[in-house]
Structure 1
């Protein structure tokens, strides 16, 4: 049985510097999909020259951030001393835990001739017991992201988080979660089964797509019902088409979000701000070790 659509919606513009950004989640219909409480789509863009676009140094607490760089180069600094660059196809994952300051900048990929950027940033809500843990960090390059071909030459699937069949991401799971990048070839289709009560949504990156017999447009965020069933992706285009599919088990604890913090109560939000202003999250050091 095919799953039914609960709703579809578009993102809201939230540009930063030279980057065109659409805030997809939270939206007017949903505050979360499984453990995912935030999604920004950094839309595909061609740049005439090198750029350095980012939010600047800022704190987080209570979540893990996940940046998936489809095209471009993402540079990461944080107050736990982590530094790395990932390139097109790579992933930056950071567990903020009990508090961290980080800075990410997106640029064109210095390893290729491409002058395009295209990326996603997710926030993954942590269970309350994990919000008090120390920060952690992973830089995952493109060739480290699990990937496999789909049956009948239908395309491929990348497992950014969670697992699919024999593929498993190295990103830790604090609850049942999955984040897939699926490419379906022209004239092909792909079907995936979703368990009962699992929350799941699709984001259509650049082209319209048929999901369970209904056509949705590029830039649409589509959420499905909680019943067990299939999601069938049909590509009627003359070239390959991409979608992002993500979700997981419902987050059952209270959610209180304010600014860069996602906690379980207003008191914990106040504590997150208090600790930040008291300097307990540390300072970012540059590549030369200077604060």
Structure 2
């Protein structure tokens, strides 16, 4: 049985400074897909030599996790819990904000000097109430540290980051037991994706043209599926890149304000107070 498609949502153009950005969620047509909260698609764009790079200087977070895909270019990450790395093309960053930290996501000094192509995806993934205040953690993975699985009769790869795909296990242990991947397919490929019962699916087309369970989708579109169980069939007409994952909904109250995502207004107020009083760390 094929999983029914509810709606296909188009990302909205929402540039940040001089950075080309499309926001896939939230938009006027969709708030969030429990437990997936937010997705920004930055680029692709080309920076010239001696550029300012990415504009994401120090800022706080609490109550959720971020998964950042570096498709082109690089990101230099630093945070107040001690996490630090430069991730380049094909790598990912998984940050658990938990009880709170301050971090920055900027371009490396080499990229700012030399320029180049940049394309980045950042997905916010909610944490359940029991995990909201866990200790912050950061993991940066190079392309070589991700599990790559050949699929579609050799016409593609699943880049497994967390969870399982068949007998394979991803390198990240998700607190929320999320399965997170990117899927790269060439033209005229067909991929069958079984979805375990009771999961919410996240399916965003980064590039390409394809049919999903018989419905056409293209770059900058988020495919929302109905709650009923079923599998997914992808058939491509061009080279395609998909951000794909799934997980069990929390079905909990959710209050998001600025950089914090909690379960109540009171917890949001406390988050701002804790940030102002230095309880999320300091930035040197």
Q: Which residue is 1:216 aligned to? A: 217
Distance 2:224 2:240 in 1: 19
SS at match of 2:57: coil
Q: Which residue is 2:263 aligned to? A: 264
Distance 1:21 1:151 in 2: 31
Is the CA contact (8 Å cut-off) linking 1:108 and 1:117 kept in structure 2? no
Distance 2:188 2:176 in 1: 35
Is the CA contact (8 Å cut-off) linking 2:159 and 2:183 kept in structure 1? yes
Distance 1:243 1:65 in 2: 17
Give matches, 1:77-116, under 5 Å. Answer: 77-106=78-107, 115-116=116-117
Q: Which residue is 1:6 aligned to? A: 6
1:159-178 deviations in Å (ceiling 9; x for gaps): 13322112222323222312
Q: How far 1:242 sits from its partner (Å)?
A: 1.6
Is the CA contact (8 Å cut-off) linking 2:49 and 2:115 kept in structure 1? no
Q: Which residue is 2:247 aligned to? A: 248
Q: How far 1:144 sits from its partner (Å)?
A: 0.3
TM-score, scaled relative to structure 2: 0.92
Is the CA contact (8 Å cut-off) linking 1:147 and 1:167 kept in structure 2? no
Distance 1:165 1:108 in 2: 40
Q: Which residue is 1:68 aligned to? A: 69
TM-score, scaled relative to structure 1: 0.90
Structure 1 stretch 116-125 or stretch 22-31: which is displaced more?
A: 22-31
Uncovered stretches (5+) of structure 1, i.e. residues with no partner: 285-290
1:109-136 deviations in Å (ceiling 9; x for gaps): 85xx982111111111111121122111
Q: Which residue is 2:17 aligned to? A: 17
Is the CA contact (8 Å cut-off) linking 1:53 and 1:107 kept in structure 2? no
SS at match of 1:268: helix
Is the CA contact (8 Å cut-off) linking 2:152 and 2:190 kept in structure 1? no
Closer/same/farther in 2, CA of residues 200 and 62 from structure 1, 3 Å limit: same
Distance 1:133 1:201 in 2: 24
Q: Which residue is 2:26 aligned to? A: 26
Q: Which residue is 2:273 aligned to? A: 274
Is the CA contact (8 Å cut-off) linking 2:209 and 2:216 kept in structure 1? yes
SS at match of 1:69: strand
Give matches, 1:147-226, under 5 Å. Answer: 147-226=148-227
Closer/same/farther in 2, CA of residues 162 and 32 from structure 1, 3 Å limit: farther
SS at match of 1:152: helix
Q: How far 1:204 sits from its partner (Å)?
A: 1.2
Q: How far 1:141 sits from its partner (Å)?
A: 0.8
SS at match of 2:267: helix
Supply the RMSD in Å over aligned alpha carbons.
1.9
Uncovered stretches (5+) of structure 2, i.e. residues with no partner: none
Distance 1:226 1:162 in 2: 20
Distance 2:50 2:192 in 1: 40
Is the CA contact (8 Å cut-off) linking 2:87 and 2:141 kept in structure 1? yes
Is the CA contact (8 Å cut-off) linking 1:193 and 1:228 kept in structure 2? no
Distance 2:5 2:110 in 1: 37
Distance 1:187 1:74 in 2: 33
Structure 1 stretch 260-269 or stretch 13-22: which is displaced more?
A: 13-22
1:44-66 deviations in Å (ceiling 9; x for gaps): 11222253212211100011111
Distance 2:247 2:153 in 1: 27
Is the CA contact (8 Å cut-off) linking 1:87 and 1:109 kept in structure 2? no
Closer/same/farther in 2, CA of residues 11 and 190 from structure 1, 3 Å limit: same
Q: Which residue is 2:44 aligned to? A: 44
